[in-house]
Amino acid sequence: MNAVAQSGLWQRLFARRGAERGESVDRLPVRIGGMELRRTAAVPARVLGFDESLLWVVVLLLAFSVVMVYSASIAMQDNPRFGHVTSTTFVVRHIAAIAVGFVAGLLAFQFSMDTWERIAPWLFIGSILMLVVVLIPHVGTVVNGARRWLSLGLMNFQPSELAKFAVLIYAAGYMVRRLEVKERFFRAVLPMAAAVAIVGALLLAEPDMGAFLVIAVIAMGILFLGGVNARMFFLIALILVAAFALMIWSSPWRRDRIFAYIDPFSEDHALGKGYQLSHALIAIGRGEIFGVGLGGSVEKLSWLPEAHTDFLLAVIGEELGLVGVLTLIVAFFWLTRRIMLIGRQAIALDRVFSGLVAEGVAVWVGFQAFINVGVNLGALPTKGLTLPLVSYGGSAILMNLVALAVVLRVDYENKLLMRGARA
Give alpha helix (H) positions in 251-377. Answer: 252-262, 275-287, 312-348, 352-376
Average pLDDT over residues 77-84: 72
Alpha-carbon gap, residue 325 to 64, rounded angstroms: 12
pLDDT in tens, 262-299: 878 877 777 777 888 898 999 999 999 999 999 999 99
pLDDT at 169 over 80: yes
pTM value > 0.75: yes
Query: How many domains does the chain divide into?
Result: 1
Looking at residue 10, its pLDDT comes to 44
In a domain, 260, yes or no: yes
In a domain, 188, yes or no: yes
Q: Residue 159's domain spans which residues? A: 51-418
DSSP helix/strand/coil, 77: helix
pLDDT in tens, 341-390: 999 999 999 999 999 999 999 999 999 999 999 999 988 888 878 999 99
Looking at residue 242, its pLDDT comes to 85
pLDDT at 392 over 90: yes
pLDDT at 168 over 80: yes
In a domain, 5, yes or no: no
Alpha-carbon gap, residue 376 to 313, rounded angstroms: 6
Q: Which of 161, 201, 155, 194 is nearest to 364 (CA)?
A: 161
In a domain, 20, yes or no: no
Alpha-carbon gap, residue 25 to 8, rounded angstroms: 15
In a domain, 38, yes or no: no
Least confident residue range of 23-37, 111-125, 224-238, 390-404 = 23-37
Contacting residues for 240 by C-beta, under 8 A, at least 6 apart: 216, 220
Looking at residue 182, its pLDDT comes to 54
pLDDT in tens, 50-66: 688 999 999 999 999 99
Cα 280 to Cα 96, 255, 300, 315, 382, distances in angstroms = 28, 20, 10, 8, 11
- Is residue 192 within 8 A of residue 156, CB to CB? The reply is no
The half-sphere exposure of 80 on its side-chain side, counting CA atoms within 13 A, is: 0
Residue 231's CB is within 10 A of a number of other CB atoms, namely 10
In a domain, 263, yes or no: yes
In a domain, 153, yes or no: yes
Ranked by mean pLDDT, the top range of 14-23, 272-281, 306-315, 412-421 is 306-315
Least confident residue range of 83-97, 123-137, 185-199, 384-398 = 185-199
Looking at residue 27, its pLDDT comes to 39
Looking at residue 336, its pLDDT comes to 96
Least confident residue range of 87-96, 114-123, 146-155 = 146-155
Per-chain mean pLDDT for the chain:
83
In a domain, 368, yes or no: yes
Looking at residue 7, its pLDDT comes to 44
Could you tell me which residue, 181 or 293, shows the higher pLDDT? 293
